[in-house]
Amino acid sequence: MSVPRVTWHFTALLRQARLRRIRFHDLRHSAATLLLEQGVELVVIKELLGHAHIGVTATVYAHVRMRLQRQAIDTLSQALREPAAGSAKPDDGRDPPLRAAPVR
């Protein structure tokens, strides 16, 4: 069985650029991972990849989603520890305390 021309040319380009060998298919996975990390919605990535069901996409890229969720939690944690400078005035005790609206 012969190697498809695309694979042969891709391998030659990798060798010429002195990059480690990867499968041509790995480019698809890398592109989807980068899109997800840039905030592109999972449903859009599903459509680009041609997956029939979003569950397939969600399963394959769960590791990326978990990392992004961890980063979001860390960002929130940081914001709660160190509010942005000048975003809130100090409480001088003159204003009434904030209260949530009653839930009905």
User: 64-101: per-residue pLDDT in tens?
Assistant: 888 888 988 999 998 888 766 555 666 677 777 666 66
Please tell me the total number of residues recorded for the chain in this structure.
104
Q: What is the pLDDT of residues 33-53, one digit of tens each?
A: 999 999 999 999 999 999 999
* For the chain, domain boundaries: 25-80
Q: What is the DSSP string of 30-98?
A: HHHHHHHHTT--HHHHHHHHT-SSHHHHHHHTHHHHHHHHHHHHHHHHHHHHSPPTTSS----S-SPPP
- Helices 62-81 and 25-37: crossing angle in degrees, nearest 10, is 20
H or E element, residue 13: helix 5-16
